[in-house]
Amino acid sequence: MLSGHPDREHGSPRTLRWLIIVVAVIVVVTVGWPVVSLAVSDDHPVAAGQPLTIGPDSALSATFTPGRDWVVRSAETDPILHWSLSDGAVDVAVVYVMVISPSQVGRLWPGLQSDLRLGDASARLGRPASITSAAGSSGLTGTLTANDRAGQAAVFPGPAGKFAIEIVSVAPAQDGAAARAAAALVARSLRFPAAAS
């Protein structure tokens, strides 16, 4: 039985038009959303060999060079205080720490341990070992574990003991070697421009 109303007829042009519109919207959302997400993503690739600077000014700053294919997490980065980077499963943080008194320089490693435990009570730093950057800056480094994560941390006092740079690199435990290599790469590349003047 036909109702005589064109919208209620099976196969009417109006019903077909709405079906096409719904399918088109689904296709646009399915295909377009990942493209839009990529376009507005806060992850930005770092050009190979591009040094990044951290610190409030040239006298109180450091530079480091991330590896190839690393990305900066812009939403989590403040170039004065904190760089957040990633390379696949590896997450790297480079953090600027103000040192109030030169006597605090000797407490940088225990201070880093305390900071890490505030973020994750399971975080543990291994025994520190000496490390030297390619530019000759001395610091401390050690392994880092936290629940199912593993990696490496390092801390370098800046010139005149006025600030320090912390490097923390973590990944899922099975990628711990990659996290340790990432921390070593950043530590080797670390430079203090004021020390060169």
Q: What's the DSSP call for residue 1?
A: -
100 in the same domain as 34: no
Q: Residue 112 has what pLDDT?
A: 93
Q: Residue 12 has what pLDDT?
A: 63
Question: What is the domain range of residue 24?
Answer: 6-39
Does some domain include residue 90? yes
90 in the same domain as 60: yes
Does some domain include residue 1? no
184 in the same domain as 123: yes
CATH, residue 187: 3.40.1000.10
Percent of the chain as helix, strand, coil, to the nearest 5: 40, 30, 30
33 in the same domain as 54: no
105 in the same domain as 174: yes
pLDDT digits (tens, 9 = 90+) for 141-173: 999 999 999 999 999 999 888 999 999 999 999
- C-alpha to C-alpha distance for 52 and 36, rounded to whole angstroms: 28
Give Dmax over CA atoms of the chain in angstroms. 94
69 in the same domain as 17: no
Strand-strand pairing, 90-98 and 149-157: unpaired
Q: Residue 19 has what pLDDT?
A: 61
Q: Which residue has the tokens 């646009």?
A: 28
58 in the same domain as 109: yes
pLDDT tens for each residue of the chain, 197 residues long? 455 555 455 556 666 666 666 555 665 555 555 544 444 456 788 887 889 999 999 899 999 999 888 999 999 999 999 999 999 999 999 999 999 888 888 899 999 999 999 989 999 999 999 999 999 999 999 999 999 999 999 999 998 889 999 999 999 999 999 999 999 999 999 999 987 76
Q: Residue 11 has what pLDDT?
A: 56
Does some domain include residue 83? yes
How many domains in the chain?
A: 2
Q: Who's near 60: CB < 8 A, 6+ residues apart? A: 158, 162, 163, 194
